[in-house]
Chains A and B, each alone.
Chain A
Amino acid sequence: MSETDRISGKLRWSKLYTFSCLRPNVLETDGLHSLQGPGFSRVVYCNQPRVHRKKPLKYPSNYISTTKYNIITFLPKAIFEQFRRVANLYFLMAAILSLTPVAPFSAVSMIAPLAFVVGLSMAKEALEDWRRFMQDMKVNSRKVSIHKGDGTFGYKPWQKIRVGDVVKVEKDQFFPADLLLLSSSYDDGICYVETMNLDGETNLKVKRSLEVTLPLDGDVAFKDFTGKIRCEDPNPNLYTFVGNLEYDRQVYALDTNQILLRDSKLRNTAYVYGVVIFTGHDSKVMQNSTKSPSKRSTIERKMDYIIYFLFTLLVLISLISSIGFAVKTKFEMPEWWYLQPQNTTDLYDPTRPGLSGIFHLVTALILYGYLIPISLYVSIEVVKVLQATFINQDLHMYDEETGNPAQARTSNLNEELGQVDTILSDKTGTLTCNQMDFLKCSIAGVSYGVGSSEVEIAAKKQMAFDLSGHNSEIYSASMQNSRAQDSLENSGSDFGKSEIELETVITSKDEKYQKPMIKGFSFVDRRLMDGNWLKDPNVDAILLFFRILALCHTAIPEPNEETGSFNYEAESPDEGAFLVAAREFGFEFCGRTQTKVFIRERYPSSGHPVEREFKILSLLDFSSKRKRMSVIVQDEGGQILLLCKGADSIIFDRLSKNGRMHEESTSRHLNEYAEAGLRTLAFAYRKLEESEYSVWNSEFIKAKTTIGPDREAMLEHVSDMIEKDLILVGATAVEDKLQKGVPQCIDKLAQAGLKIWVLTGDKMETAINIGFSCSLLRQGMKQICITTVNTDLLAQDAKKAVKENVLMQLTNASQMINLEKDPHAAFALVIDGKTLSYALEEDMKHQFLSLAVNCASVICCRVSPKQKAMVTRLVKEGSGKTTLAIGDGANDVGMIQEADIGVGISGVEGMQAVMASDFSIAQFRFLERLLVVHGHWCYKRIAQMICYFFYKNIVFGLTLFYFEAYTGFSGQSVYDDWFMLLFNVILTSLPVISLGVFEQDVSSEVCLQFPALYQQGQRNMFFDWYRIFGWMANGLYSSLIIFFFNLNIFYDQAFRSEGQTADMAAVGATMFTCIIWAVNFQIAFTMSHFTWIQHLFVWGSICTWYIFLLLYGMSSPIISRNAFQILVEALAPAPIYWLVTLLVTIACNVPYLAYLSFQRSFNPMDHHIIQEIKYYKKDVEDQHMWKRECSKARQETKIGFTARVDAKIRQLRGKLQKKYPSLGVQNVIPPS
């Protein structure tokens, strides 16, 4: 930090912040807290970190860890996690029991798959935890300047910081821990803090140090600094702090004003010094962070029920088996001399059939374990990781600007993306960029600025397209009426033309917009630019307007070395946009001292700029209550002016009689701007006489120096006195730039049947503005605003009264909706945070929810992070639907964690939201592709995959059971151990994985063109119980066919012309061949999308089986036992072997094929039709039909452009009908 910077920073900043930063010069001794008792035990010795090295003052270090495991705990913890899954626990038991003689198989065939499955899952866990660890390390090793003793500072990583350390944080750095502010580069000890990461608020907050610590403003000052802080224990409350500082044998009270919280950022301040109070996990932000809950998708939860069902089935057939076994053993086995029943062990003891039965139960439970697919979890995990890779790799979701691809951070929610019902969205940073663009203005009743807002452009585009589409609909409906047809045809072609024109206009405009790349300024109008305003008849008003732009603010300029002009550090982005606009108009704000503002005015006539200085006499700053700000300036000529800007309603109330000249036209313009989704402010001024000012000023100073609760009221009163009799100059319209593609994305999502709620920390007006600009609100929508009225009653009564009031508003609104007759009426609910806190209470929340569900859009403003999470929970639990929360800041973390799916915007802000999220995308607009394409695909893939999995295991498991009935229920399986081992692991796993990874019912373009397809997921059409049980029934059928066909064909006769009869190995191998063929054919019928990979896996699996059988047969007979040379010698030369395979494969698949054909011909689903259209290339031949269907495939929405357009079309129809009454009523089709 250079010396000059320091001097310029040494501005008495408090001058500017007249209201909030005035410091009464009296020590508030009564503010001291008696810090005793539980909760207030923390003692911090400032600048004596040594004291904190040992107990009891040893506090946690600043090292943070968000990992689940460490090297030592990984193995036990991860194994524990794995075996919490019921199925895995079952397989573990089976593996342990397989070491005993009870087991029907060899031990290795039980342990190997389990080890593989568990090992793979654990490897995945380890990888994910490693990534978290690397993220932590990155944070832990950030550097900060720390006092090393003797007044020298040096850089150390964050993790080395200890409680009591003095740290120096520089501009735009994050605070490494919770600090007590001691001093800053400003000599009144204030600093600016951005708490974006904590609460999502973008405006800067002012913190100020205690006066007593102000002298500590240099490195050397800390040489001998000591102090003692007593304060509260670590807690998650961000907005309170209680503590005392003992310094110089005096005790001073500390409050939240002196506390700098970890993960907030130092802004506009060169540096600050602070003492570390809370480190690491003690810091407030870490205390706030909750462990991200592990989320499971709906499908996976449902899958558990299927597993329970199969477990029941398993236990049932095991019981049947063991009862059968006990009966056989008791009554028949004594006669089976060839088993030597008199010499048996407990396992087969005819004298104790009960005991043997119990042993056999264990055997049976292991034997039929194939009903529960051991590889299901691992296959699903593999599939999901691969699906996630595809999401990560999707170039359509890669943001060129920030360089961030989409990222699936947890892979276990992929399919949930296909079932989302409600989206809860943050506003700032998610829907908008939080960047303001000066777009239009109205000066002296004339509107300037021809550029249209993004909203307007997009709306026009959409309208142009839709008009043509809807028009053709009318056209086709009125075929019988030739006269009307002719005229409509004409109008149709007119529309067509106008569409083309509009499109070209828009595209050319788009190109034009590329040129002026001035951030914050998109104003286009030759009348004002390049000094042309001097020729305008209203030149005086325009000059005044520009001066207000340049003078009425609290920003400070920063020279930009690259461009030679200035950057502005403004309190709000609007102000920044005004200053940029003023600069572009030729009124460059170039400097500020404590009492003066310097403007460089450039007139094209004179050539070089004139620097003027204005004396700032007073500054009445902005507050949300006042909704205006004013400066009182004195120009070089001694003229005193009050310049005021504020909300139009406020300004219009304060105009003088002769200041209302342009009121009418200006307010008309303001309405236009607001409709275009712009933020508006009105500008006014007033000339003051010297004497008038000085009288007022003395009052003002008196009010400023008052101490006590009346100060605010007095100041307001004094300000009111001067801010009156204003003369209206004009108004501005600033665009809160929506992120790219947001309105379109919202429109598409709404068409896919998704509901969108906006939860924002912003003011209600801002929220409503944004609602308009992203078409969540529109003109003609009935807005239901629910707010609390301020009551001045006693606290307890007030609460009750307010609550009743809110309840009444809710009931009234519900009634209004119920009574509404017009099917096109749309309602919007706007509710603020304070009211929400009542509405979310237990007794009222269901009323609130039912009201909200009936509204087309819901906007909650001024909500706290916690309320966001509560609203999310309410929607999730109250409606039982899948919710998705999307946000970018730390204030969205709660909501992101609470929702079924959390999506983080990986933009420029901190990483908290992304770290807590399940998916991160760089732009809101990618949400459409994430849900409609990837969600849809993943849902179908996983659903089909799970169904198939159960099918194939039922086929296999039941054949084992049937065979038992023929072996006296002894627990012998007809298949070789190795066949069974390989069945799930190799022979059938790859095709099903390829189904889960590569299946596409329709291509991604079609998914986007037909949002209605998304509803297949919302309605869960592919994983409902009908479908699941259908697949199970199919499995049952196939198992019966496979088993009994084989049994009857290989009954007792010779199976070859050489006279040999089939032994168990031959029957088993043949039956297994049939299973492999049948299940692989089945999956081939299930797939609708074959790339070479699917072909390879499906047909490769069948080949693998033969290759395996061949190789297994060639191995030593000690390994292969009865399967020795079975294929070559016994099976392959026998025609019956091949004939059985063919017969059984076809017989197993005929019903499914018949079902499919039947469904396709009588009850085709949407994707079937679209597949057919694509197959016959009808979309190319008949583009008109294709386009019409695309537009009809939308959900009827009440929000978004489409709704706006629909409303327009209804109007248009009304007009048409009047024009051509012969068309009749029947032709007026409601738009869909």
Chain B
Amino acid sequence: MNSNVASSSGGGGVDGSSPPRRNSKRPKYSRFTQQELPACKPILTPKWVISAFMLVSFVFIPIGVASLLASRDVVEIVDRYETVCIPEDKRADKLNYIQSTENKTCSRTLIVPKRMKQPIYVYYQLDNFYQNHRRYVKSRSDEQLRDSKNENDTSACDPEDDSNGLPVVPCGLIAWSLFNDTYSFSRNNQNLTVNKKGISWKSDREHKFGNDVYPKNFQNGTLRGGALLNTTQPLSEQEDLIVWMRTAALPTFRKLYGKIEVDLEANETIQVTLQNNYNTYSFDGKKKLVLSTTSWLGGKNDFLGIAYLTIGGLCFFLSMAFTVVYLVKPRRLGDPSYLSWNINPAGH
């Protein structure tokens, strides 16, 4: 195409001697260049409009119902404990309490409202915690996490990059502020095992966190952040860290703590012994322990179902409205009397 543009600019009357017929400049015929390619030209006829809206509502309403049912099937126990786990006399100055070294063991009792089929997922939920803050998100080094050779690669980890001149592994604010409350569960004085394996993405374990990378100089600076890491375990096996390092999108988030792989019956009592170590008190963050089953859609959230029902209902309403409109005030398609010059002969 371009060659033609270039060649056609010259010529003309400058050399009047050349013969009049120069077919070299004649554009080649093709349906493409003549803009005559076969095309489908769909138009929105009433039939199409009504059936499109109808179709949407017929698809959406069942999906909405199914989603709602799935969400309702999920059994969820939520226990907020950040205040109740502080002895009543210390509640005036929670921050001081949490920063002190005294024993922070706390007991909670949960009652299972409905039968919960295994696996039951254990989550901790934090609130008002900006894991998505730019300073926080950027403060990590994927290179270092992946390979022990890159342990000095801490440039992105400011301000938690080195400790007394030695590189911190894993570096950065995210790792440094690792959540460190722990939970153990018992039912009728019988321990419920919490399986902490397989709570992170497989790809993370296998490709992003190296199996030869061991924690070094972690949390030995002047400032103590969150949890300590087992220096004898490679990072790829420290799943709590791997889960934590997947930063959440919102300031309210849940993270997987473990799985309980036995069924819990309705009205059973679960004793939780938790170590309330993590400081959310300085920024008034809530802490919750969540036990939840899942459905095919995941956890408990009615929004998807409601949204589907709303949109489906709206489309149903629209299709009805258009049906009524077309019945009451039909317009023959392609009726030339609607052309502007027929409606408004003086207008142009």
Contact assessment for A339 and B133 in the assembled complex, using a CB-CB cutoff below 8 Å? yes
Contacts of A1064 in B (CB 8 A): 131-132, 137, 246-249
Contacts of B125 in A (CB 8 A): 1052
A423 CB → nearest B CB, Å:
18
Contacts of A911 in B (CB 8 A): 12-14
**Would you list which residues of chain A between 297 and 352 have a CB under 8 Å from chain B?**
332, 335-340, 343-345, 347-348
Contacts of B218 in A (CB 8 A): none
Does chain A have a CB within 8 A of B149? Answer: no
Contact assessment for A340 and B132 in the assembled complex, using a CB-CB cutoff below 8 Å? no
**Would you list which residues of chain B between 142 and 185 have a CB under 8 Å from chain A?**
142-143, 146, 158-160, 173, 176-177
Does chain A have a CB within 8 A of B252? Answer: yes
Question: B132 is contacted by which of A966, A1091, A1146 (Cβ under 8 Å)?
Answer: A966
Contact assessment for A1134 and B134 in the assembled complex, using a CB-CB cutoff below 8 Å? no
Q: Complex formed: what's the CA distance from A1124 to B130 in Å?
A: 23
Interface window among B84-92, B107-115, B264-272, B295-303? B295-303
Does chain A have a CB within 8 A of B83? Answer: no
**Would you list which residues of chain B between 172 and 226 have a CB under 8 Å from chain A?**
173, 176-177, 199, 201-204, 207-208, 223, 225-226
Contacts of B250 in A (CB 8 A): 966, 1047, 1051-1052
Q: Complex formed: what's the CA distance from A1118 to B329 in Å?
A: 62
Contact assessment for A1169 and B339 in the assembled complex, using a CB-CB cutoff below 8 Å? yes
**Would you list which residues of chain B between 16 and 61 have a CB under 8 Å from chain A?**
16, 20-29, 33-35, 37-46, 49, 52-53, 56, 60
A3 CB → nearest B CB, Å:
24
Contact assessment for B298 and A335 in the assembled complex, using a CB-CB cutoff below 8 Å? no
Contact assessment for B136 and A1150 in the assembled complex, using a CB-CB cutoff below 8 Å? no
A591 CB → nearest B CB, Å:
27
Nearest CB in chain A to that of B300: its residue: A1053
Contacts of B53 in A (CB 8 A): 1153
Does chain B have a CB within 8 A of A1195? Answer: yes
Q: Main SS of the interface on chain A?
A: helix
Contact assessment for B335 and A1052 in the assembled complex, using a CB-CB cutoff below 8 Å? no
Contact assessment for B248 and A403 in the assembled complex, using a CB-CB cutoff below 8 Å? no
Contacts of A1118 in B (CB 8 A): 142-143, 146
From A1055, A1060, A1124, residue with most partner B Cβ within 10 Å? A1060
Q: Complex formed: what's the CA distance from A750 to B142 in Å?
A: 70
Q: Complex formed: what's the CA distance from A344 to B341 in Å?
A: 70
Contacts of A1049 in B (CB 8 A): 301, 303-304, 307
Known: A1054-B292, A1160-B44, A1166-B340. A970 touches B208 (CB 8 A): no
Contact assessment for A388 and B282 in the assembled complex, using a CB-CB cutoff below 8 Å? no
Contacts of A1171 in B (CB 8 A): 41, 43
Does chain B have a CB within 8 A of A1174? Answer: yes
**Would you list which residues of chain B between 326 and 348 have a CB under 8 Å from chain A?**
326, 329, 331, 333-336, 338-342, 345, 348
Contact assessment for A1088 and B296 in the assembled complex, using a CB-CB cutoff below 8 Å? no
Contact assessment for A1172 and B304 in the assembled complex, using a CB-CB cutoff below 8 Å? no
Known: A911-B14, A1139-B67. A335 touches B341 (CB 8 A): no
Contacts of B304 in A (CB 8 A): 1049, 1136, 1139-1140, 1143
Contact assessment for A1059 and B294 in the assembled complex, using a CB-CB cutoff below 8 Å? yes
Question: A906 is contacted by which of B12, B56, B63 (Cβ under 8 Å)?
Answer: B12
Contact assessment for A1175 and B41 in the assembled complex, using a CB-CB cutoff below 8 Å? yes
Does chain B have a CB within 8 A of A1154? Answer: yes
Q: Complex formed: what's the CA distance from A402 to B24 in Å?
A: 12
On chain B, which size bracket covers the interface? Answer: 35 or more
Contacts of B45 in A (CB 8 A): 1172, 1175
Contacts of B253 in A (CB 8 A): 1052, 1061
Contacts of A1162 in B (CB 8 A): 329, 331
Question: A1124 is contacted by which of B208, B252, B307 (Cβ under 8 Å)?
Answer: B208
Does chain B have a CB within 8 A of A979? Answer: no
**Would you list which residues of chain B between 237 and 262 have a CB under 8 Å from chain A?**
246-256, 259
Nearest CB in chain B to that of A1063: its residue: B246
Contact assessment for B43 and A1157 in the assembled complex, using a CB-CB cutoff below 8 Å? no
Nearest CB in chain A to that of B301: its residue: A1053
Contact assessment for A1057 and B294 in the assembled complex, using a CB-CB cutoff below 8 Å? yes
A1124 CB → nearest B CB, Å:
6
Contact assessment for B333 and A340 in the assembled complex, using a CB-CB cutoff below 8 Å? no
Contacts of A138 in B (CB 8 A): 10, 14
Contact assessment for B21 and A403 in the assembled complex, using a CB-CB cutoff below 8 Å? yes
Does chain B have a CB within 8 A of A1107? Answer: no
Contact assessment for B223 and A1150 in the assembled complex, using a CB-CB cutoff below 8 Å? no
Question: B294 is contacted by which of A142, A404, A1058, A1142 (Cβ under 8 Å)?
Answer: A1058
Q: Complex formed: what's the CA distance from A344 to B249 in Å?
A: 23
Known: A389-B1, A402-B20, A1060-B256. A1134 touches B143 (CB 8 A): no
Does chain A have a CB within 8 A of B100? Answer: no
Does chain A have a CB within 8 A of B105? Answer: no
B206 CB → nearest A CB, Å:
10
Contacts of B37 in A (CB 8 A): 998, 1091-1093
Does chain B have a CB within 8 A of A125? Answer: no
A102 CB → nearest B CB, Å:
11
Contacts of B159 in A (CB 8 A): 340, 343-344
Does chain A have a CB within 8 A of B81? Answer: no
Contact assessment for A1147 and B341 in the assembled complex, using a CB-CB cutoff below 8 Å? no
Known: A403-B23, A1140-B304. A1056 touches B294 (CB 8 A): yes
Contacts of A1094 in B (CB 8 A): 39
Contact assessment for A388 and B334 in the assembled complex, using a CB-CB cutoff below 8 Å? no
Chain A interfacial residues counted at CB < 8 A = 133
Contacts of B231 in A (CB 8 A): none
Contacts of A1059 in B (CB 8 A): 119, 121, 199, 256, 259, 292, 294, 298-299
Contact assessment for A908 and B13 in the assembled complex, using a CB-CB cutoff below 8 Å? yes
Nearest CB in chain B to that of A1176: its residue: B334
Contacts of B204 in A (CB 8 A): 1124
Does chain B have a CB within 8 A of A288? Answer: no
Contacts of A1232 in B (CB 8 A): 341, 345
Contacts of A337 in B (CB 8 A): 177, 225, 279, 282-283
Interface window among A18-26, A392-400, A551-559? A392-400
Contact assessment for B341 and A1193 in the assembled complex, using a CB-CB cutoff below 8 Å? yes
Contact assessment for B40 and A139 in the assembled complex, using a CB-CB cutoff below 8 Å? no
Contact assessment for B202 and A1129 in the assembled complex, using a CB-CB cutoff below 8 Å? yes
Contact assessment for B333 and A1090 in the assembled complex, using a CB-CB cutoff below 8 Å? no
Contact assessment for B203 and A1134 in the assembled complex, using a CB-CB cutoff below 8 Å? no
Contact assessment for A1172 and B52 in the assembled complex, using a CB-CB cutoff below 8 Å? no
Contact assessment for B292 and A335 in the assembled complex, using a CB-CB cutoff below 8 Å? no
Does chain A have a CB within 8 A of B9? Answer: yes
Q: Complex formed: what's the CA distance from A654 to B314 in Å?
A: 90
Nearest CB in chain A to that of B37: its residue: A1091
Contact assessment for A139 and B334 in the assembled complex, using a CB-CB cutoff below 8 Å? no
Contact assessment for B123 and A1061 in the assembled complex, using a CB-CB cutoff below 8 Å? yes
Known: A338-B136, A392-B8, A1064-B137. A1125 touches B142 (CB 8 A): no
**Would you list which residues of chain A between 1126 and 1183 have a CB under 8 Å from chain B?**
1129-1130, 1134-1136, 1139-1140, 1142-1143, 1146-1147, 1150, 1153-1154, 1156-1157, 1160-1162, 1164-1166, 1168-1176, 1178
Does chain A have a CB within 8 A of B69? Answer: no
Nearest CB in chain A to that of B340: its residue: A1166
Contact assessment for B336 and A1189 in the assembled complex, using a CB-CB cutoff below 8 Å? yes
A1024 CB → nearest B CB, Å:
16
Known: A340-B223, A908-B16. A1088 touches B133 (CB 8 A): no
Nearest CB in chain B to that of A1016: its residue: B340
Question: A1169 is contacted by which of B2, B142, B311, B335 (Cβ under 8 Å)?
Answer: B335
Contacts of A332 in B (CB 8 A): 283
What would 22 A/B residue contacts be, using CB atoms closer than 8 Å? A134-B9, A134-B10, A336-B133, A344-B135, A389-B4, A405-B8, A1052-B250, A1052-B299, A1054-B254, A1055-B299, A1065-B246, A1067-B249, A1088-B41, A1090-B39, A1090-B40, A1124-B208, A1134-B298, A1139-B304, A1140-B304, A1146-B60, A1157-B44, A1162-B329
Extra contacts, 6 of them, besides A339-B133, A1051-B303 (Cβ < 8 A), are A339-B130, A348-B135, A1117-B207, A1134-B298, A1139-B63, A1143-B60
Q: Across chains A and B, which 5 residue pairs bring their CB atoms closest together, nearest first?
A: A1053-B299, A338-B177, A1172-B334, A1059-B121, A403-B22
